[in-house]
């Protein structure tokens, strides 16, 4: 991991982009938040973007808008038509009143469109949608060029400072460029020069349409990460052609959406792709924007100092903290709310058709709905928050922001709750940034902190309000003998065997495997042996499997190791910058020589060869669905790929029988199986820890404070920090 230099002089310095000057080098990159699709949401979108402008960002790029109906992402997706652009005058006005600059991104989905009007360079279906795209005719190609130009003109007329053309991530312009998706035999596809003709024609038409004063940015794919993608020579020729046609800024993109290489999740090393950005910058005479996993301002400063880019795109970090630039300028870098790149509340929501927000900032994209209104001094309340996990800390911060007098109690010696365990999972190292930021933010907000303190109901009688955020305890199964109920888990219960509500999850069968809870393992109170069974394959179970098998040191901490780990190579050496992935070989298990159809997944590498710890790990669940099916849309496939690569043996449709001196006995279908292990890790979900809340609610005297129960203490979901923090902030907003 790079060692950043102190200070932010380069990141905060202005830059002349040719058409106008921006006040710093921070670009809020394009990110769809679900407010773009309906003109009726223009006021909400204006509030969201204007807050980032007030926070000091240099240049804002909107979410993508299609130039025509064919290019919409969804049937009701955003389009830069006359009605929409007229409504957007409120957006451009509010951003400009905040001394900001904003450009509209034009995005044609091509074969990524989720509707029957999809059209692309050639007929076919992408892996992301069930709709088959038709082939654009030669007349259709020209119409699309005209539509781009007309949409760009409407954007500038609506007050935008320019437009950005989305030519990356596998959308239409990118589809014309790659041999994988363009095998036309006409002037728009016969060879590399013909494949470039369409995006170059779009850039030229848009430049003419927006006039000499508006900014024209092009998001260029430097690394497609798909077989038969572009090579480096083609990309450089395209870049020079774009600048010749009037493009002012080249914003870099990495990877198509269908690529099987992660590019933005938290396990990707910081600034992993900036060497390619630097190479582009050396080849063109316009400013270049670096992107993808540059979340830490210190890393962004170092990228600029090393001459790898002229500007830094920080989309999700500005979801997390809209005032990030202002905090840097004011010397409050330690108080920045860090983005942990979890995708849970932003991209996962968008891909499920919901409005995006942010796990660590639930007000993101809800600025007009979730308002932390300051209270008058005479209405200040004394607020106790009990439990310093994510929900408790954010409740304390939100309450203090409103002006209340807040005291935060924590029974242990550390802040963070179960997030401390998550930060120990290889690939989630950036969660530690959130842990490090909380003490500074709490101190700045004036929150009183009492660690190693477990208050009683009597201790809290002097407060007006008590927010109980005491979290959860691991659910323990009744071992060595228990039987499932035979009906399968209910929809709202953990995917585990029948369990007791005991909080001590460390029972051991005599002379048999050691039985430990995930909490004991991740907090270092217990260690796993060489043969491990994990009971419960939800998010925690998957995390534990990765904790036990991930390479050491973590590839996330070294970009070269990570690239080798995922088969990423120089696009100058291989088209698309990706090596072919060998088919996994079946792993031989004691009870089966091949996949026997009983629910045991043995299609994984037999022996990891990439520095992984040599453990035999079994991951088990009662459900018959594939393991990891409930994980996030943008991150789940990464976790599943890592499990396969590690050789984790996956068992589904499991009925748990017993643990004895031989090991763990299970039944899959009609077949009984013994899994010989020395350790069983229980990831059987959680139970709410609400003893204090029940005591306070039972008291009901005139001196009893108002009681609010939030987070895991309210609902013991599977460590759902996004729901817990949102509930905590909403509760504080209502005090």
* pLDDT tens per residue, range 4-35: 445 899 999 999 999 999 999 999 999 999 99
**Residue 560 resides in a domain:** no
The Cα–Cα gap between 251 and 239 comes to 11
Please answer whether residues 33 and 48 qualify as being in contact, where contact means their C-beta atoms are separated by less than 8 angstroms: yes
CA distance 352 to 34: 10
Query: What's the distance, Cα to Cα, between the start and end of the chain in Å?
Result: 43
- What is the Cα 535 distance to its own chain's centre? 27
- pLDDT at residue 722 is higher than 70: yes
Residue where one domain finishes, among candidates 281, 309, 336: 336
| Mean pLDDT of all residues in 135-154 | 98
Give the number of other Cβ atoms within 10 Å of residue 121's Cβ: 26
If pLDDT is split at 50, 70 and 90, which confidence band does 85 have?
very high
- Residue 429 and residue 299 share a domain: no
- Residue 3 forms part of a structural domain: no
* Residue 193 backbone dihedrals phi, psi, to 5 degrees: -65, -40
Q: Band of the pLDDT at 325, cuts 50, 70, 90?
A: very high
Distance between CA atoms of residues 262 and 133, nearest Å: 25
Q: Using one digit for the tens of pLDDT, what is the confidence trace for 270-314?
A: 999 999 999 999 999 999 999 999 999 999 999 999 999 999 999
pLDDT above 70 (res 496) = no
Q: How confident is the model at residue 612 (pLDDT cuts 50, 70, 90)?
A: low
Q: Which two tokens stand for residue 264?
A: 């933005």
Q: Do residue 662 and residue 695 come from a single domain?
A: no
Contact 296, 3 (CB under 8 A): no
Q: Which of 648, 665, 686 is the last residue of a domain?
A: 686
- Flag whether pLDDT at 505 surpasses 50: no
Clarify whether residues 80 and 190 are in a common domain. Answer: yes
- How far apart are alpha carbons 436 and 530 in whole angstroms? 33
Q: Domain for residue 302, yes or no?
A: yes
Say what the pLDDT of residue 73 is. Answer: 96
pLDDT in the model for residue 497 = 44
- The mean-pLDDT minimum among 82-96, 290-304, 506-520 falls in 506-520
In this model, does residue 628 exceed pLDDT 80?
yes
* Pair (384, 486) in one structural domain: no
Residue 19 belongs to a domain = yes
Q: State how far the alpha carbon of 638 is from the alpha carbons of 394, 433, 643, 644, in Å.
A: 29, 22, 9, 10
CA angle 362, 729, 407 (to 5 degrees): 140
HSE-up (13 A, CA, CB side) for residue 462: 5
Compute the distance between CA of residue 275 and CA of residue 715 in angstroms, rounded to an integer. Answer: 45
User: Are 679 and 693 members of one domain?
Assistant: no
Residues 427, 384 share a domain: yes
Handedness of CA 558, 564, 566, 568 (dihedral sign): positive
Query: Between these two residues, 7 and 497, which has the higher pLDDT value?
Result: 7
Return the beta strands (E) in 45-161 as ranges: 59-65, 102-106, 119-120, 134-135
Predicted pLDDT at 6: 57
The pair phi, psi for residue 111, each rounded to 5°, is -75, 0
Asked whether the beta carbons of 73 and 340 are under 8 A apart, the reply is no
Name the residue among 297, 300, 339 with its Cα closest to residue 316: 339
What pLDDT score does 164 carry? 98
Instruction: Supply the pLDDT for residue 508.
Output: 43
Q: Dump pLDDT digits (tens) for 208-220.
A: 999 999 999 999 9
Residue 471: is its pLDDT beyond 80?
Answer: yes
Strand partners of residue 223: 254
Rg of the chain on CA atoms, in Å = 27
Rounded Cα distance between 136 and 134, Å, is 6
Three-state secondary structure readout of 32-59: CCCCCCCHHHHHHHHHHHHHHHHCCCCE
CATH number at residue 708: 3.40.50.720
Distance, in Å, from the CA atom of 106 to the CA atom of 163, rounded to the nearest integer, reads 7
Domain-ending residue, one of 336, 367, 392:
336
The mean predicted confidence, pLDDT, of the chain is 90
CATH code, 77: 3.20.20.70
What's the whole-model pTM score? 0.91
Query: How far is CA 201 from each of CA 147, 175, 382, 559, rounded to the nearest angstrom?
Result: 12, 15, 64, 36
- Residue 143 near residue 197 (C-beta atoms within 8 A): no
pLDDT (tens digit, 9 = 90+) per residue, 49-60? 999 999 999 999
Which residue among 48, 65, 171, 218 is the active-site one? 171
- Whole-angstrom CA distances from 393 to 471, 697, 722 are 12, 22, 13
Contact 189, 176 (CB under 8 A): yes
Residue 368, domain member (yes or no): no
In degrees and rounded to multiples of 5, residue 717 shows phi and psi of -75, 175
Tokens representing 536?
Answer: 């419960």
Determine contact, residues 202/190, Cβ cutoff 8 Å. Answer: no
In a domain, 568, yes or no: no
What's the domain count of the chain? 3
**pLDDT computed for residue 593 by the predictor:** 30
Instruction: For residue 732, give the 3-state DSSP assignment.
Output: helix
Alpha helices, H only, 178-263: 192-210, 232-244
Question: Poorest-confidence range of 300-314, 347-361, 498-512?
Answer: 498-512
Task: Tell me if residue 656 is catalytic.
Answer: no
Residue 543 has pLDDT above 60, yes or no: yes
* Residue in 364, 359, 291 with CA at minimum distance from that of residue 323: 364
Tokens matching residue 518: 């995930």
For residue 370, the Cα-to-chain-centroid distance in whole angstroms is 22
Residue 187 and residue 213 in one domain: yes
CB under 8 Å to 198, separation ≥6 — which residues? 121, 141, 145, 173, 176, 188
Q: Do residues 282 and 430 both lie within one domain?
A: no
Token pair listed for 409: 């109690």
Q: Take residue 89 and report the two structure tokens written for it.
A: 């005058």
Rounded Cα distance between 583 and 579, Å, is: 12
Residues 671 and 699 in one domain: no
At residue 701, the pLDDT reads 66
Give the pLDDT confidence of 649-704 residue by residue, as tens digits: 999 999 999 998 899 999 998 899 999 999 999 998 889 999 999 998 887 666 77
CATH number at residue 524: 3.50.50.60
| Residue 29 tokens, joined | 């990159």
**Omega into 424 within 30° of 0, i.e. cis?**
no
Residue 614 is predicted with a pLDDT of 79
Virtual torsion, Cα 278, 280, 284, 285, nearest 10 deg: -30
Shared domain check, 182 and 69: yes
As given in the structure block, the two tokens for residue 420 are 């401390």
Which of 454, 324, 334, 469 is CA-nearest to residue 396? 469
Whether 527 is covered by a domain: the verdict is yes
What pLDDT, on a 0 to 100 scale, did the predictor assign at position 605?
38
Give the tokens for residue 299. 């890393």
Per-residue pLDDT at 3: 47
Q: With 70 as the cut, is the pLDDT of residue 607 above it?
A: no
Give the span between the Cα atoms of 251 and 514, in whole angstroms: 53
Confidence of residue 599 (pLDDT cuts 50, 70, 90): very low
In a domain, 357, yes or no: no
Q: Please tell me the least confidently modeled range out of 109-123, 478-492, 540-554, 719-733.
A: 478-492
Question: What is the β-pairing status of strands 686-688 and 654-660?
Answer: unpaired
Whether 476 contacts 684, CB under 8 Å? yes
Q: Are strands 162-167 and 215-223 parallel, antiparallel or unpaired?
A: parallel
Domain co-membership, 725 together with 613: no
The 10s digit of each residue's pLDDT in 207-263 is 999 999 999 999 999 999 999 999 999 999 999 999 999 999 999 999 999 999 999
Q: Which two tokens stand for residue 631?
A: 């994980």
Predicted confidence at residue 703, as pLDDT, reads 72
371's torsion region: left (phi>0), alpha (psi -120 to 50) or beta?
beta
DSSP 8-class letter at 527 = -
Is 322 exposed, middle or buried (CB count within 10 Å of its CB: 0-12, 13-18, 19+)? Answer: buried
C-alpha dihedral (338, 339, 342, 348), degrees to nearest 10: 140
Q: Is the pLDDT of residue 621 over 90?
A: yes
Same domain? For 717 and 680 the reply is no
Residues 216 and 248 sit within 8 Å (Cβ to Cβ)? yes
Which residue range is the domain that position 677 belongs to?
474-550+581-686
Q: Which two tokens stand for residue 314?
A: 């920080």
Cβ atoms of residues 723 and 364 within 8 Å:
no
Q: Give the phi and the psi of residue 37 in degrees, each rounded to 5.
A: -80, -25
Q: Return phi, psi of residue 47, to 5°.
A: -65, -40
Upper half-sphere CA count for residue 388 (Cβ side, 13 Å)? 26
> If pLDDT is split at 50, 70 and 90, which confidence band does 487 have?
very low
């Amino acid at each position: 991991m790079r060692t950043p230099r102190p200070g932010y002089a380069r990141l905060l310095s202005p830059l002349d982009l040719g058409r106008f000057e921006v006040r710093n080098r921070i670009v809020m990159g394009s990110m769809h938040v679900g407010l773009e699709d309906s003109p009726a949401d223009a006021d909400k979108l204006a509030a969201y973007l204007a807050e980032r402008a007030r926070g000091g960002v240099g240049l804002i790029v909107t979410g993508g808008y299609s130039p025509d109906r064919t290019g919409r992402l969804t049937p009701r997706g955003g389009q830069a038509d006359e009605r929409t652009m007229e409504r957007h005058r409120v957006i451009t006005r509010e951003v400009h009143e905040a001394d900001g600059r904003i450009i509209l991104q034009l995005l044609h989905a091509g074969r990524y469109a989720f509707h029957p009007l999809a059209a692309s360079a050639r007929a076919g279906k992408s892996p992301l949608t069930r709709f088959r795209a038709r082939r654009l005719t030669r007349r259709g190609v020209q119409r699309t060029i005209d539509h781009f130009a007309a949409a760009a003109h409407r954007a500038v007329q609506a007050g935008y400072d320019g437009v950005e053309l989305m030519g990356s991530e596998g959308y239409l312009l990118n589809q014309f460029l790659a041999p994988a998706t363009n095998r036309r035999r006409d002037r728009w596809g016969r060879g590399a020069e013909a494949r470039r003709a369409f995006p170059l024609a779009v850039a030229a038409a848009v430049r003419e349409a927006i006039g000499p004063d508006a900014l024209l940015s092009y998001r260029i794919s430097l690394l497609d990460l798909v077989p038969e993608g572009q090579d480096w020579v083609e990309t450089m020729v395209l870049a020079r052609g774009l600048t010749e046609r009037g493009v002012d800024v080249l914003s870099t993109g990495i990877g198509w959406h269908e690529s099987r290489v992660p590019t933005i999740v938290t396990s990707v090393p910081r600034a992993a792709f900036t060497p390619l950005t630097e190479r582009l910058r050396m080849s063109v005479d316009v400013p270049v924007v670096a992107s993808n996993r540059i979340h830490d301002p210190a890393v962004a400063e170092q990228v600029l100092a090393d001459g790898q880019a002229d500007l830094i795109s920080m989309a999700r970090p500005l979801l997390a903290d809209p005032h990030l630039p202002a905090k840097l300028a004011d010397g409050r870098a330690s108080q920045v709310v860090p983005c942990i790149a979890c995708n849970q509340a932003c991209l996962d929501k968008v891909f499920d058709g919901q409005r995006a927000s942010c796990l660590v900032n639930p007000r993101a994209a809800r600025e007009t709905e979730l308002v932390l209104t300051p209270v008058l001094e005479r209405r200040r309340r004394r607020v106790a928050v009990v439990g310093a996990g994510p929900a408790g800390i954010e409740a304390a911060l939100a309450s203090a922001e409103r002006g209340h007098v807040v005291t935060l109690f924590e029974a242990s010696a550390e802040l963070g709750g179960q997030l401390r365990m998550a930060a120990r999972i290889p690939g989630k190292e950036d969660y530690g940034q959130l842990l490090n930021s909380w003490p500074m933010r709490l101190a700045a907000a004036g929150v009183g902190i009492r660690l190693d303190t477990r208050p009683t109901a009597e201790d809290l009688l002097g407060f007006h309000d008590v927010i109980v955020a005491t979290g959860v305890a691991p659910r323990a199964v009744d071992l060595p003998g228990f039987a499932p109920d035979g009906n399968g888990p209910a929809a709202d219960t953990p995917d585990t065997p029948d369990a007791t509500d005991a909080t001590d999850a460390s029972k051991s069968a005599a002379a048999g495997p050691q039985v430990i809870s995930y909490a004991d393992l991740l907090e270092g109170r217990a260690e796993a042996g060489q043969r491990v069974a994990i009971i419960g394959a939800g998010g925690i179970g998957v995390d534990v499997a990765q904790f036990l098998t991930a390479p050491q040191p973590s590839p996330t901490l070294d970009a070269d190791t990570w690239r080798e780990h995922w088969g990423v190579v120089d696009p100058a050496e291989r088209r698309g910058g990706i090596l072919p992935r060998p088919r996994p070989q079946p792993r031989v298990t004691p009870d089966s020589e091949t996949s026997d159809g009983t629910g045991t997944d043995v299609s994984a590498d037999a022996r990891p060869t990439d520095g992984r710890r040599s453990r035999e790990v079994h991951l088990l669940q009662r459900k018959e669905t594939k393991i990891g099916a409930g994980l996030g849309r943008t991150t789940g496939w990464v976790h599943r790929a890592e499990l396969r690569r590690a050789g984790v043996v996956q068992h589904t449709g499991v009925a748990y029988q017993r643990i004895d001196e031989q090991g763990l006995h299970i039944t899959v279908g009609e077949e009984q199986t013994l899994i010989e292990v020395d350790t069983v890790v229980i990831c059987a979900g959680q139970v709410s820890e609400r003893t204090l809340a029940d005591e306070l609610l039972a008291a009901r005297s005139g001196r009893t404070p108002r009681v609010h129960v939030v987070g895991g203490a309210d609902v013991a979901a599977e460590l759902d920090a996004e729901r817990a923090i949102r509930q905590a902030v909403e509760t504080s907003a209502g005090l």
